[in-house]
Each structure stands twice: as structure tokens, then as C-alpha cells.
Chain A
Amino acid sequence: MLKVVGVFGAVLTMFAYAVLAERKISAWIQGRVGPNRTAPPLALKIPFLGALLQSWGIFQPMADGLKAFLKEDFTPNYVRKAYFWLAPAISMVPAFLVLAVVPFGSKLGNEPMVIANLDVGILYTFGIISLGVYGVVLAGYASNSKYPFLGGIRSSAQMISYEIAMGMSVVPLFLIVGELNLSDVITWQAKNGWLILYSPISFVIFLIAAFAETNRLPFDLPESETELIGGYHTEYSSMKFALFFMGEYAAMIAASAMMVTLFFGGWTLPGLSEPASSIAVGLLHIGIFVAKLLAFMVLFIWVRWMLPRFRYDQLMDLGWRRFIPLALANILVTAVVLWMRSAKP
């Protein structure tokens, strides 16, 4: 129970500061300064540190959160009310559910640092991740106006295309490891080296599909601020919009966590791969996991300010005609190599 609260709290904090990081990094890339003014009244009284934290925008997420709560929650007259209210929640929940099976550390005391140690972890993950699209599609349908509708349609097509590529990209990993439990995947990697070394093509496909699954640029077609005015969340305001936002970032965190677990050895580092026997090492393992996860978050954010959005047909072309055949070939080659190696005496 404590773990659930801990992970939930950590993800919410990470969400808040990912938004800040997004704003800061985008500012730096574009030659601006980013948020550097928000500070609660007493914070500036602290000598030096107060002003420094202010210039880093450390307090900005508080102001953003407060704003989201206090803003006028506007429901247009023409929306389908029940679904309109339901959609933000549905878009947020799946990302959190995925995090339940990701091992974020080895052990603290005797407690394994994973909320649910499922034997079919990866199947569960893919089952849940694909539910995320319902929130977006429902929002598009419920809003009952053209831009959200287009966003919803795009989202469903995009999700279906990339879900397949993503699912097939990880099949070689499980051929190699022979387990579906994510904790076992990590144990295997601790023994034999990170899986990205065994199957880099899987990683590339998974990474790009993750961008598409989380609606991040260059694949943010359901949202496309410039052409669809925000796409599926055009009609949403205040906290309901914040929930969509949270859903997007939670999905990013979940995708990063999946990549760390599947390809980069989870909480292990070479030399630090034994399950922790003391609290300090346990915390260190969590720290390693979080650090790897943050590196992926930065990558997500960085790419957003780097690439232009794909055209819709290019997106579909990439998904169906490039990645799916590539993923299939990857499975085949891996299987053949494994078979040949096992055939040897």
C-alpha cells in the first residue's frame, strides 16, 4: 500500500517537474530564459538560495497546479456530458496502471520494489497501454465538434498502427530471455548484459513507437496544435485539461520506465546488480532507476523541440510499411540465431 502511494506521489511530482523541464529545455533550445519569476511570498526571504530557486523556476509547478484548480471549468453546451467528464480520467488511468508492474528498485528491507510482480508483466503492460487511446477517442467523440473529432480519429488509427509494431518489437527480447516477468527480465540483464546490446533494432522500433503511443512530437497528430487547435482536448479547460496533460506525461513516464526495464537493465548497473541487502543500496538502486528514467524523459522533451511533425500519410507509411516488416524480420532473425545456437552441441 505504501509503495502504491509512494509511486503515485513520485509520478505526480515527476509530472509537475517534467512540465517545468519541458518549458525550461524548450526555452534554452530556443534561446529564451523560461519560467524564472514564480516564488511563494516567503521563499525570497531566504538569502541567495531563494532567488536562485526562483530563477530556476522551481516553484512554477505549484503555481501551474493551483491555476489548473482555480480556473473556470467550462463545459460547452453541445458536448455529450457523461463521456465528456469520463474521458480525462480514462486517458490518465492506464499510464498509472502500467507503472504498477515496473520494478523500480531491488529491495528495501525485505520488500521487493515493485507494486505487482506479475508473471505476465509485459502482456499486461501492452493490454493496458492500448486502453490509453480510449480516453483520447472518447474525448474526440464527446466534444462533438470537428477538431476534437479529427484528433480522436487520428489517434485511434495511429495507436492501432504503432501498437502492433511496438508489441512485435519486444518479442525478440522474450525469445532471448525466455520470461515475461519484468523482474526476471532485469535479473537476466544483470547476468548477461543489457538487452539493447542483443537487440538494438527492437530498441529503435520500441523507442519510435513509444513516441507515437504517447502522442509526442514528431507524432503528435491527435493534438497538432497548429492544425487541429489542440485536437482532442480543444474543448477542455481547467482541471479536465490538466488531467489530459497529466495523462500524456504519465504515459511518457510509463514508456520511459518500460524502455529502462526492457533495454537498459532497470535498476541495475554493472557492478551493482545484486538485490540490495541494506537500505542504502536499496535506495541507490531506486536512484539508478530514476536517473535512467529521467534521461529518457529528457530525450522525449528534447526531440519535441527538434523535429517537425510528420504528415499523416508518412506516419502511417512508417508504421505499416517500415516498422512492422522490420519488426517481423527482427523476430525471425532472432529466432533463427537462437535456434542455430541451441542446435550446437
Chain B
Amino acid sequence: MIVKREKLTFWERLYLPALLGGFKITASHLVDTLFRGNNVAKQVSKGYYPEIPWTVGQNYRGAPYLVRDQEGHTKCVSCQLCEFVCPPKAIKITPPGPDGQTADRANAEKMPLEFEINMLRCIFCGFCQEVCPEEAIFLQKDYSLTGLSRKEMIYNKEKLLTLGGTHAGVQKWKHKLEEAKEQESFPVKV
């Protein structure tokens, strides 16, 4: 599309009216902030952000944590899809190996021996959540992660599971199990 350009008058081409307009609008904002408290800087309650925490939006996507199912079992099955999809390569999974530890729940072959997310690398993109076939990892509401060393910012499996808590959503395999059991008897009522 060709934008029609209005011919500017001499006064406008001098650039001075724009300049004066700029002074006027910035000055009005300055006065608003300083004396009237008419905008973001207005104190809602006593104080500003770190003391008064921010109310996190409902659909906010913060740091990814691992979740447990309703029975307290690890949902992750160490398939490593999230590790492969992770754009900044923040996730590192150590699988249990052929003779390693088995999963702590039915319908799963294994669970990760170690699951690490480097929060210094993580960009909160949500690909891990999207790709996870087990619904084991979710972007949660934490947005302010701090630590005193780089090492401290690498969250391990235990920490991720503690922070993640229990996911109250679907239990994919439980449902499948019930389905399978239902099919043992006749007539099938699914």
C-alpha cells in the first residue's frame, strides 16, 4: 500500500511545533507522575513491587517444573523429547539405563535418574510442556528465580518435583488402565 503523504506546511517543516508538542506532553507526564500519582508509579498499597508482590496472571507462563500425578508418582518417563526440543538446550536428562531404577508407577517403563533444567538458559518458551507426551512438565507461575551462583541455578529433579507440586489434570495412563480393565468384561462400557 502506498501511503499518501500530506504536504507539510512551512511551519510544520520547521520541526518546531513537533518539538514544542514533545516538551508539552513529556512535561505533562512528568507532572502527572511526580505530583498527581496518575499512572503506573502510583502506590496502590504501601510500597512497590518487591514488598508488594505482583499478582501473576492466570495464563502466565513462568519457569517449567516437573509435576507429580494425584497419587504422588513421577509423571516423567525419561523419553527426552523435551531435551531434544529445548531451543536453548537448558534441559539435561540422565536416563536410568537398561538395568537402572524402574518407574514408581504402573504403565511406565522408567523414570529419569536425574532431570536438570538450567534456569540461566531457560527462556520459558514452553516447548517442553508442548512436546511432553506424559504431561509431566508445565510452565508454572514462578517468574523471579535468583541464586548466588551458577550452580545454584541448575535445578535438579528433586527440586523441580518439589516446586512443581501435583498436577490435578488428566491422568493419561490411569484412564488407559481403566479402559483396558473395562474391556476385560462384556459388554464394554466405555
Give A residues with C-beta under 8 Å from B.
25, 27-33, 36, 302-303, 305-307
Interface assignment of B44: CB less than 8 Å from any CB of chain A: no
The yes or no answer to B32 lying at the interface (CB within 8 A) is yes
Alpha-carbon separation in the docked complex, A33 to B29 (Å): 12
Is B23 an interface position by the 8 A CB rule?
A: yes
The distance from the CB of A37 to the nearest CB of chain B, in whole angstroms, is 8
Closest-by-CB residue of A relative to B49 is A33
The main secondary structure of chain B at its interface with chain A is helix
CA distance A241 to B48 in the complex (A): 31
- CB-CB under 8 A from B26, the residues of chain A are 29, 302, 305-306
CB-CB nearest in chain A for B28: A29
Whether B48 contacts A306 by the Cβ 8 Å rule is no
**Nearest Cβ distance between residue B53 and chain A, in whole angstroms?**
16
- Distance in Å from the Cβ of B46 to the closest Cβ of chain A? 13
A31 touches B29 (CB 8 A): yes
Cβ of A119 to closest chain B Cβ, rounded Å:
37
Closest partner residue, chain B, to A306 (CB atom): B22
Q: Point out the residue from A28, A33, A307 that lies within 8 Å of B48, measured CB to CB.
A: A33
Tell me the complex Cα distance, A27–B26, Å: 11
Nearest B residue to A32, CB-CB: B41
With A305-B26, A306-B22 given, is the CB distance from A28 to B34 under 8 Å? yes
Nearest-Cβ distance from residue A336 to partner chain B, whole angstroms: 24
Is the beta-carbon distance between B22 and A31 smaller than 8 angstroms? no
Q: Is the interface of A mostly helix, strand, loop or mixed?
A: loop
Chain B residues lying within 8 Å of A32, measured Cβ to Cβ, are 33, 40-41
> What are 26 sample pairs from A and B whose C-beta atoms fall under 8 A apart?
A25-B30, A27-B33, A27-B41, A28-B29, A28-B30, A28-B33, A28-B41, A29-B26, A29-B29, A29-B30, A31-B29, A31-B32, A31-B33, A31-B39, A31-B40, A31-B41, A32-B33, A32-B40, A32-B41, A33-B33, A33-B41, A33-B48, A305-B26, A306-B22, A306-B23, A306-B26
Residues in B lying within 8 Å of A, measured CB to CB:
19, 22-23, 25-26, 29-30, 32-34, 39-41, 48
Are A30 and B29 interface neighbours, CB within 8 A?
yes
- Bound-state CA distance A302–B27 (Å) is 9
Identify the 3 closest CB pairs spanning chains A and B, nearest first.
A31-B39, A306-B22, A28-B33
Compute how far the CA of A305 lies from the CA of B22 in the bound complex, rounded to whole angstroms.
9
Q: Is A307 in contact with B22, judged by CB distance below 8 angstroms?
A: yes
Q: How far is the CA of A31 from the CA of B38 in the complex (A)?
A: 8
Taking the closest CB of chain A, its distance from the CB of B64, in whole angstroms, is 29
Shortest Cβ distance from A214 into chain B, in angstroms? 18
- When C-beta atoms are compared, the residue in chain A nearest to B43 turns out to be A33
| B26, B29, B34, B41 interface centre (most CB from chain A within 10 Å) | B26
Please, how many angstroms separate the alpha-carbon atoms of A196 and B25 in the complex?
26
Report the bound CA distance from A307 to B18 in whole Å: 9
* Minimum Cβ distance to chain B for residue A299 (Å): 10
Q: How far is the CB of A329 from chain B (nearest CB, A)?
A: 16
Bound-complex Cα distance A307 to B33 (A): 19
Bound CA–CA A302/B26 (angstroms) = 8
Chain A residues positioned under 8 Å from B25 (CB to CB): 306
Determine how close the nearest CB of chain B comes to the CB of A76; give it in whole angstroms.
Answer: 21
In whole angstroms, how far apart are the Cα atoms of A217 and B27 in the complex?
Answer: 17
A32 to B19, CA, bound (A): 23
How distant is the Cα of A307 from the Cα of B41 in the complex, in angstroms? Answer: 22
Residue picked from A25, A28, A30, A32, most chain B C-beta under 10 Å: A28
CA distance A284 to B23 in the complex (A): 30
Contacts of B33 in A (CB 8 A): 27-29, 31-33
* A25 to B26 Cα, complex, angstroms: 10
On chain B, the residues within 8 Å of A306 by CB distance are 22-23, 25-26
| B48 surroundings in chain A (CB, below 8 A) | 33, 36
Known A29-B26, A30-B29, A31-B29; 14 more pairs at CB < 8 Å: A27-B33, A27-B41, A28-B30, A28-B33, A29-B29, A29-B30, A29-B33, A32-B40, A33-B33, A33-B41, A36-B48, A303-B22, A305-B26, A307-B22
- Chain B residues with Cβ below 8 Å from A33 are 33, 41, 48
The answer for the CA separation of A27 and B48 in the assembled complex, in Å, is 14
Q: How far is the CA of A27 from the CA of B39 in the complex (A)?
A: 12
Report the minimum CB–CB distance from A29 to chain B (whole Å).
Answer: 5
Residues of A within 8 Å of B39, CB to CB, are: 31
What CA separation (Å) do A25 and B30 show in the bound complex?
8
